[in-house]
Amino acid sequence: MLAITCPGQGSQTPGFLSAWLEVPGVSDRLHWLSTVAGIDLERHGTVSDEETIKDTAVAQPLIVASGLLSLLALFEHPADGFRVVGAGVGHSVGEITAASAAGVISAEQAMVLVRERGKAMAHAATATPTGMSAVIGGDEEEVVATIERHGLTPANRNGAGQIVAAGTLEQLAALADDKPARSRVLPLKVAGAFHTEHMAPAVDTLVRLSRAISTHDARVPLVSNADGQVVVSGPEVLRRIVTQVSNPVRFDLCLQTLRDLGVTGIIEIPPAGALTGLAKRELKGVETLALRTPDDIEAAQRMVREHGSPREASEPAWRVVVSPAKGRVTLDGGLAAGSGVTAGATIASISSLRESIEVRSEHPGQVIEWLVEDGDPVAPGQPLLRLHPIGAEASA
C-alpha cells in the first residue's frame, strides 16, 4: 500500500521551487495559484530569503502550492492517483494539501483557505510573545509531564523521540533551564505557539470561512492529525482542519495508523524531508522517498507502480461506513438488512486499549449488509457497513 505525506511549516528552504518551474506546465499553474492566493509564490519559492519565507503568511500558501504542483508532475491526471494511493496524511498545514489532493476541496479553495489561515495565525501570534521548542530524546511520559508542568502544550507529538513544546517565551525559557533527563531542547524559528490555545482567534476566522466551503468525500482515505483516525467525510475533514489550528498535532498516531493500514511505501511531497525522516525511524521496513526535485520523479513513479494498489476510481451506487481506528468492533444490534440509517447516526463503536470511539454514518441510507461481525478485530479504514443511498443522496 502506498501513502502520500504532505509536510508542514518549517520544511521550506530558500529556492526549493526553482527546479520544479522547469517542468512543463508548472510555472503556469503556479502563476494561477499565486493569482488565487494574491501572493507572488514564484518569487517566494525561488529568490526570497529564509527570513521572508519563514513568515507564516508566506510559508503556508507556499507549502500547499508546492505540494499540489509536485503531484501534477507525479500523476498526469488526478484520477491516476485516486486509483493507486491507499492513504494520505498531512502535517499541520499539510492537511490542507492532503485534503485538496484527495478531492475534498479544490485547489482554489485550498489556496484561499491557507492564505487566510496563515494571515490569521500570524495575527494571533502578535497578541503575546510566544514560540515553540523541540524536545529531542528523553522518556516520552517524562517529557510530556515536564512540558505541561511549565504550563506549555505538547503541540506536536511527532514520534521518533520528538515532541514540540509551545507557549510563552518565559515558559519556554523555564523548560530550557529544567529540561527532561537525557533530552535536548532546541528553540524553533516560528512566529508563535501554533496548535495551542494562543491560536483560538485564528480558529474563529476559519470557522466562518469554512461555512462557505463546499466539500466532497475524500477519494483517498485521509489520516487525521487530531487522533490518527481515518477520515473520508468531506465535512469532517474540513472541520478537523479548522479545529486543528488550536489543538496538538498527533503525527505519532498518524504513523501508527499507517502501520496498521499495512502501508509499504511512503512518498513525501515538497518541501520534502522532515516527514520522511520520522517515517524512517518509526516504520522500519517501509520504503520511503522524499520527493525534493524533479530528479526524484522517476524513483517516485517506480514506487507508485510497486506499492500502489489499483482499484476502480468511479463512485459506487452504494456507500460504506469505515472504521476510523484499530480495535474491536461492537455493532448496533438493531441495524439489520433493510433498516434505515440517518446521517450522523451511531452504527458501532471501536474499542482499543487507549479509548472507545463511536462510529457514525456520514450519510443517510438503507442497510444492505454488515461487512464484519460483532467483536471482530478491525483496522483503520476497514469497511464495516454497506448502505444504499436514500433521499437526496440517491438522486444526486
Q: Where are the alpha helices (DSSP H) in the chain?
A: 26-37, 41-46, 50-54, 56-74, 78-84, 94-101, 107-124, 140-149, 169-177, 200-210, 234-243, 251-261, 274-282, 297-307, 392-395
Residue 59 · residue 118 · CB < 8 Å:
yes
Q: What is the rounded CA–CA span in Å between residue 222 and residue 381?
A: 9
Catalytic residue among 11, 48, 66, 92: 92
Q: Which residues contact 315 (CB under 8 A, 6 or more apart)?
A: none
Q: Is 198 an active-site residue? A: no
Listing from the earlier edge strand, what are the strands of the sheet with 340-341? 319-322, 383-389, 365-370, 340-341
Any residues with CB less than 8 A from the CB of 105 and at least 6 apart, and which?
96, 99, 113, 213, 215, 216, 234, 238
Q: Any catalytic annotation for residue 210? A: no
Cell 504513523 locates to 255
How far is the C-alpha of 46 from the C-alpha of 18, rounded, in Å?
A: 5
Residue with cell 439489520: 336
Considering Cα of 27, then 28, then 30, then 35, what sign does the dihedral take? Answer: positive
Catalytic residue among 44, 195, 198, 307: 195
CB atoms under 10 Å from CB of 309, counted, come to 12
DSSP string, 149-167: HTT-EEEEEEETTEEEEEE
Quote the CA–CA distance of 45 and 299 in Å, as a whole number.
23
Kindly state the cell numbers that stand for 207.
470557522
Q: Are 164 and 188 in contact (CB under 8 A)?
A: yes
2-6 β-sheet, strand order: 230-231, 222-223, 85-90, 2-6, 265-268, 287-290
Q: Cα separation of 131 and 82, whole Å?
A: 38
List C-alpha distances in Å: 157 to 77, 82, 127, 237, 378: 34, 29, 25, 20, 25
Catalytic residues: 92, 195
